[in-house]
Amino acid sequence: MRLYRAVQSKLLQGDISGAVRAISSDSSVAPRCDTVLNQLRSKHPRTPADIRAIPTLDTVPPIPITPAEFSAALGSFAPSSSGGLDGLKPIHLRDLVSPITLDSGRDLLSSITRLCSRIVSGTIPAVARELLFSAGLIALKKAEGGVRPIAIGNVFRRLSAKIMSFRVVPTLSSEFLPFQYGVGVKGACEILAHGTRQLLHSKPNDCEFIVKLDVSNAFNCVRRDHMFEVVSKRCPELWPIVNLAYSSPSCLLFHGETIMSECGIQQGDPLGPLLFALSVDHIARNLASNVNFWYLDDITIGGPLDVVMEDINKITSGFAEIGLSLNGRKCELVNISLSSGALSQASSSLRGLIAGLRLTPTNDLVILGSPISEHGILKSLLSKLEEIKLLTERIRGLDSHMAFFLLRNFLFIPRLTYILRSSPCFVAPDALLAIDNLILTSLRFKPPEKVNERSTLGIEVEVVVGKKYYLSIRSIVYVTTVKGPNIIGCKDMCDL
């Protein structure tokens, strides 16, 4: 019954992917307990003792927010986006200002745009600032253990931040390239995954290995004084709202417990990725490695050993100045074409700079969640096969209408569509065929012809008692072998 209500709630909100996620996986939210609370406190460091004074900046007030900007920002929220401490969600505002509300909706829209204009201009009284910039805190479980804190701020603060992000990202994203891809680059993860795969296949002489670097608690540790200095120089139009959000500590509430946000950038702030990219851009652009790409706090470099070692020193010293550090236990060395002797020397030299650096076989290499090798692709698809098994088992306990709808959208299983786009999954045809056959054999169906020669699977579903419908869904074998919309990992595309 609990699962039924969770799925029903997601579908009523129009969140199809959330409904499939709820039924196909276990909860990723950590419970309230002392262990989790202590982990959250440890991830929110105090203000550094040597913090520099916030620079003063005379800025031209931002252009007032227009109703069109407000509507675009509001529409960008996921249907199930959570509310802040007051419980007000984006979907509530969407309903309140919809065209069917007529004059009252238009009046409310005008009032909200004026409020957001005051937020982006920084002209909010101190007492209102405490209400608008405090946030609820949730702890998401990490696959490798530990938790990731996510701050759910007030909806008006998040709307204002999104609007300012939409204004400045088109310009700044071009300035970040060709080194940073985490802000404003559509399909960046897929681009970097396919690029890395090509690098491993081509084995260039000037890049015989790569190093993946992981930043420890990156967003929560970056120094705010440095962030203010960078914003004032490179993006002064953001200054008022950034100053309002981060010049003073904010309260984060976790099940009644208060944690002060004194340092870093709140994960959950729509401006967070942009502010982090601005904070580390000078380091990213100062490296000399032939391979050098950053996706926020995920860094990959490669090239001659002496150049890579010098760049790691630059990163380490640069990070120390802005409050960041590498997490050596999660950093990886990946061999491309080094001999065993050269690999041993490189590993020894790099471990002198990064304690805990581990050697990762190319079969196990994952770039931004995408498996790079054929072995990794097969392993990932088999994992998704188990998730689909769980979905087909649980779906039998749902209302037939909900089950019918979810079956049409099983590709929304978390990260399955992403893996299809970012990896050449056609190299694992047996796993793809197993997914198709699972959908067919788990339900009552009218057998089609050979599955791997058809673009759709035919399933017979009883939605209303006594009435059967023929449901067609796209074959996963088909979408990975024939060009289709948004599928850049398919065989036809990779053969070009």
Calculate the dihedral angle through the C-alpha atoms of 363, 144, 80, 6, rounding to the nearest 10 degrees.
100
First and final C-alpha spacing in the chain: 50
494 has a pLDDT exceeding 60: no
325 has a pLDDT exceeding 50: yes
Residue 78 pLDDT: 83
Residue 485 pLDDT: 43
Residue 395 pLDDT: 77
Residue 444 pLDDT: 54
Q: Which domains does the chain have, with CATH numbers?
A: 28-171+233-271 (no CATH), 177-221+272-367 (3.30.70), 373-483 (no CATH)
pLDDT per residue as tens digits for the range 108-118: 999 999 999 99
240 has a pLDDT exceeding 50: yes
What is the CB-side half-sphere exposure of residue 203 using CA atoms within 13 A? 7
Q: Which is higher by pLDDT, 26 or 321? A: 321
315 has a pLDDT exceeding 80: yes
Residue 405 pLDDT: 74
318 has a pLDDT exceeding 50: yes
Average pLDDT over residues 22-34: 75
Q: Name the residue type at position 429.
A: P
Residue 484 pLDDT: 47
Please name which of 483, 492, 491, 488 lies closest in space to residue 418, comparing C-alpha atoms: 488
Structure tokens at 368: 């931004």
Q: Which is higher by pLDDT, 364 or 19? A: 364
pLDDT per residue as tens digits for the range 106-160: 999 999 999 999 999 989 988 889 889 999 998 888 877 788 888 899 999 999 9
DSSP summary character for residue 180: B
Average pLDDT over residues 30-36: 87
pLDDT per residue as tens digits for the range 256-292: 899 999 999 998 899 999 999 999 999 999 999 999 9
Q: Which is higher by pLDDT, 60 or 185? A: 185
439 has a pLDDT exceeding 90: no
Structure tokens at 254: 């976790």
- DSSP one-letter string for 330-347: G-EEEESS--HHHHHHHH
pTM: 0.88
Average pLDDT over residues 48-60: 83
Q: Which is higher by pLDDT, 439 or 267? A: 267
For 158-162, 392-396, 423-427, 478-482, which range has the lowest pLDDT when averaged over its residues? 478-482
Phi, psi dihedral angles at 221 (to 5 degrees): -110, -15
Residue 487 pLDDT: 47
Residues of the chain with pLDDT > 70, as a percent, come to 86
Backbone φ/ψ region at 27: left (φ over 0), alpha (ψ -120 to 50), beta = beta
Q: Which is higher by pLDDT, 440 or 429? A: 429
